[in-house]
Amino acid sequence: MTDFNYNFNSCPERNGYGSLKWDKFQGRDILPLWVADMDFAAAPEIIAALQARLDHGVFGYTKPFAAPVEAVLNYLERQHGYQARASWLDFLPGMVPAINLCVHAFTQASESVMTATPVYPPFLSAPDYAGRELIKVPLCLDSQEHWSLDIEAMEAAIQPHTRLLILCSPHNPVGRVFTAAELTELADFCERHDLILISDEIHCDLVIDPDAQHTMTATLNDAIAQRTVTLMAPSKTYNLPGLACAFSVIENPQLRQQFQQTIRGIITEVNCFGYAGCAAAYNHGEAWRQELLRYLRGNYELVYDFIQRELPQITFRPMQATYLAWFDVSALGLKHPAHFFEQHGVGLSDGSPFDGAQHLRLNFGCPRDRLEEGLQRMKKAVGTI
């Protein structure tokens, strides 16, 4: 690890900063390996841009101005081959409010929403909060034991009043990068059933499998582009969730208008640091991101090998993206798996809110020695069963 230009091995102290991740276990010897927030400091290039913005000294209301807009448009084209226009963009203070507002914008009370489970919990709560029926279709394993979308089961489950499909691509929590062929099948499904597709692609720049490539849903073909609402943010990749800056890309003017009317007066402006961080991430963050991916790949291999070798009772299938490992712990026979591991000093995400009871999610976006310690604690814990 000596050939790294950026330091991922040591991290700033987070106690005392209101960290959601760390404060949960404050005062207890529990390693927080849960919520999707990495322990690494942001790229120095981003910190410098934020410092320059701070030095300006005036923090007035800020609209989506040229610097972040151009940074996003250039990034979409450079990274994902997507030629978007400025008028298709809306900046948002978070993806979660956007997911919730999409449900309001694009469905009536009598219409239903479909998603593939297990999945990021706000996909499940958003229809519930809006009083819409939710149709959950479990992911399936394909012939190569990859998690995949079960189009056949989706065909069987769809209702005449289903209007919206919420996709997580790449998929949190299973870490799958769907191929263009799989996404095209999904696009055809949306076309057949006249669905609007909310494509949450927040993890798209965290592909750790060198053989996998992310495809933006909206780049598949014109038909799906016209029914897609893409939601993205630099926050996962560059570890900036506290800056609260995300964006939507909506090509279809009618859908865009529906969305904009719904968020009006409800969604706040993105703040000036959010814009500065977003522009710096996309314009100057690539060298840091490449090293981050290399570091995360090393962490993933550590977790994978450790689980196969030391904890074979846990099923952990190979993953391609994200820094979130999804464990099936049903063979351990635990009543409350997350509580059990907390009692043994490891704070993992409980699978139940993802619709994955008897599963746990481990965040390996942390220094390697912390990860090693967490895995050793897990082994020790399992040894007590």
Ligand X SMILES: Cc1ncc(COP(=O)(O)O)c(C=O)c1O
**Contact stretch for ligand X (CB under 6 A) within 61-69, 94-102, 182-190, 308-316:** 94-102
Cα dihedral 246, 175, 354, 344 in deg (nearest 10)? -110
Nearest to 289 by CA among 368, 362, 204, 214: 204
The footprint of ligand X on residues 166-195 (CB under 6 A) is: 168, 172
| Backbone angles phi and psi of 148, in degrees to 5 | -145, 165
Q: What strands lie across the sheet with 324-328, from one edge to the other? A: 324-328, 359-363, 349-350
Task: Determine if 228 is a binding residue for ligand X (CB under 6 A).
Answer: no
Task: Determine if 158 is a binding residue for ligand X (CB under 6 A).
Answer: no
Cβ at position 232, least distance to ligand X in Å:
9
Task: Determine if 241 is a binding residue for ligand X (CB under 6 A).
Answer: yes
Cβ at position 343, least distance to ligand X in Å:
25
Name the token pair of 106. Answer: 């694009």
Cβ at position 21, least distance to ligand X in Å:
11
Cβ at position 310, least distance to ligand X in Å:
28
**Contact stretch for ligand X (CB under 6 A) within 89-97, 279-287, 301-309, 359-367:** 89-97
Task: Determine if 202 is a binding residue for ligand X (CB under 6 A).
Answer: yes
Looking at the Cβ atoms of 103 and 382, the one nearer to ligand X is 103
Q: Candidates 89, 164, 218, 233: give the one binding ligand X (CB under 6 A).
A: 233
d(CA 381, CA 384): 5
The footprint of ligand X on residues 283-322 (CB under 6 A) is: none
Task: Determine if 207 is a binding residue for ligand X (CB under 6 A).
Answer: no
Task: Determine if 200 is a binding residue for ligand X (CB under 6 A).
Answer: yes
Cβ at position 9, least distance to ligand X in Å:
24
Task: Determine if 96 is a binding residue for ligand X (CB under 6 A).
Answer: yes
Cβ at position 234, least distance to ligand X in Å:
10
The footprint of ligand X on residues 333-372 (CB under 6 A) is: none
**Contact stretch for ligand X (CB under 6 A) within 52-60, 90-98, 110-118, 255-263:** 90-98
Looking at the Cβ atoms of 72 and 95, the one nearer to ligand X is 95
- Residues facing residue 230 across a β-bridge: 199, 249
Cβ at position 1, least distance to ligand X in Å:
26
Task: Determine if 95 is a binding residue for ligand X (CB under 6 A).
Answer: yes
Q: Candidates 30, 31, 33, 36: give the one binding ligand X (CB under 6 A).
A: 36
The footprint of ligand X on residues 112-131 (CB under 6 A) is: 120
Q: Candidates 42, 53, 69, 94: give the one binding ligand X (CB under 6 A).
A: 94
**Contact stretch for ligand X (CB under 6 A) within 151-159, 233-241, 274-282, 331-339:** 233-241
Task: Determine if 235 is a binding residue for ligand X (CB under 6 A).
Answer: yes
Residues near ligand X (CB under 6 A), total:
13
Looking at the Cβ atoms of 332 and 362, the one nearer to ligand X is 362
Cβ at position 95, least distance to ligand X in Å:
3
The footprint of ligand X on residues 247-286 (CB under 6 A) is: none
Secondary structure of the chain as H, E, C letters: CCCCCCCCCCCCCCCCCCCHHHHCCCCCCCEECCCCCCCCCCCHHHHHHHHHHHHHCCCCCCCCCHHHHHHHHHHHHHHHCCCCCHHHEEEECCHHHHHHHHHHHHCCCCCEEEEEECCCHHHHHHHHHCCCEEEEEECEECCCCCEECCHHHHHHHCCCCEEEEEEECCCCCCCCCCCHHHHHHHHHHHHHCCCEEEEECCCCCCECCCCCCCCCHHHCCHHHHCCEEEEECCCCCCCCHHHCCEEEEECCHHHHHHHHHHHCCCCCCCCHHHHHHHHHHHHHCHHHHHHHHHHHHHHHHHHHHHHHHHCCCCECCCCCECCEEEEECHHHCCCCHHHHHHHCCEECEECHHHCCCCEEEEECCCCHHHHHHHHHHHHHHHHCC
Nearest to 229 by CA among 253, 211, 209, 207: 253
**Contact stretch for ligand X (CB under 6 A) within 68-76, 88-96, 280-288, 297-305:** 88-96
CA atoms within 13 A on the CB side of 265: 2
What is the contact surface with ligand X in residues (CB under 6 A)? 36, 94-96, 120, 168, 172, 200, 202, 233, 235, 241, 246
